[in-house]
Amino acid sequence: MKKLIKKAAIGMVAFFVVAASGPVFAAVGDQGVDWSVYNDTYGKSGLPTDKFVISQIGGHNKYGIYWQSTYPTQVQSSIAQGKRAHTYIWWEDVIDYSTAKTVMDTMLAKIQTPKGSIVALDAEFGMQSTDVTLWALKYIKDHGYTPLLYGYKSYLTDNFFLDKIVKNYGLWMAGYGWNTIKSAPDYSDFPSYDNIQIWQFTSNYVNGELDGNVDLTGITDKGYEDGNATKPDTATPAIENGKEANEVKGNDVEVGMTVKVNFG
């Protein structure tokens, strides 16, 4: 998507978001959500105090490489809300270096979040290789992003030599305990392991059917100047469109514009 002037961007993508607050900054304990195609074109709102969003770009499953059409608009929506946007890649049955390089080259070429931002590998199903995954995490880092490995503790420990991975790369770990609706983490459910950077503490965040996460180290400010979502380290089309939508105020909306007002 080429860069559009402010009004054209709103009209063409039928999109306008009123940010709930001004720029947000990273700190240990920040909460946020993660989105996939199941969370709609522009994502689903969690709490107005959320500071970050991690969106799925696509990935590799048993059928091969696939894309999620909602990824660019979800990144745009995150930026327009004043939230730091990050990326994750589905990682299933990638057990040889040739496949890993093809997946990485394909996905990294389409990343819409800034350099330095998180690019996580989401490992939940299928066959896994510790060495190939380590290679992919290093490939992400070598391309200027912040690598993480995501998964449930039981799956990660059963399918990887996880101690080997956490020596060099952080985890975004899921662990819920009693998976009731939660708006804040219950640390009695914490899935203890070395080098956990983000904890996904529920899949029933706020009103349910949404993943809730807490940043344990401040890692979600990566890719943004001082953690400020309005100051990404590099620009992409989705970021530029999100920034333009963020700058439009209510009295700038004119007759004839098609807008969608959310999150305000």
Q: Pairing state of beta strands 118-122 and 64-67? A: unpaired
Mean pLDDT of 184-191: 95
The pLDDT assigned to 246 comes to 57
Q: Is the pLDDT of residue 8 over 80?
A: no
The pLDDT assigned to 252 comes to 57
Domain of 62 in residue numbering reads as 6-252
Distance CA 163, CA 130 (A): 10
Distance CA 32, CA 205 (A): 10
Let me know if residue 175 belongs to a domain.
yes
Let me know if residue 260 belongs to a domain.
no
The pLDDT assigned to 251 comes to 55
More confident residue, 230 or 144: 144
Residue with tokens 């989401």: 122
Let me know if residue 176 belongs to a domain.
yes
Please state the pTM of the whole predicted model: 0.85
Let me know if residue 65 belongs to a domain.
yes
Structural domains counted in the chain: 1
Q: Is the pLDDT of residue 196 over 60?
A: yes
Let me know if residue 49 belongs to a domain.
yes
The pLDDT assigned to 239 comes to 81
Let me know if residue 134 belongs to a domain.
yes
The pLDDT confidence band at residue 250, using thresholds 50, 70 and 90, is low
Mean pLDDT of 180-184: 92
Q: What is the 3-state secondary structure (H, E, C) of 192-211?
A: CCCCEEEEEEECEECCCCEE
Q: Is the pLDDT of residue 99 over 50?
A: yes
Span 108-144, pLDDT tens digits = 999 999 999 999 999 999 999 999 999 999 999 999 9
User: The domain that contains 187 carries what CATH number?
Assistant: 3.20.20.80
Let me know if residue 203 belongs to a domain.
yes
Question: Among 21-30, 105-114, 180-189, which stretch is predicted with the lowest mean pLDDT?
Answer: 21-30
Residue with tokens 């590099």: 234
Let me know if residue 104 belongs to a domain.
yes
Closest CA to 236 of 71, 81, 125, 46: 71
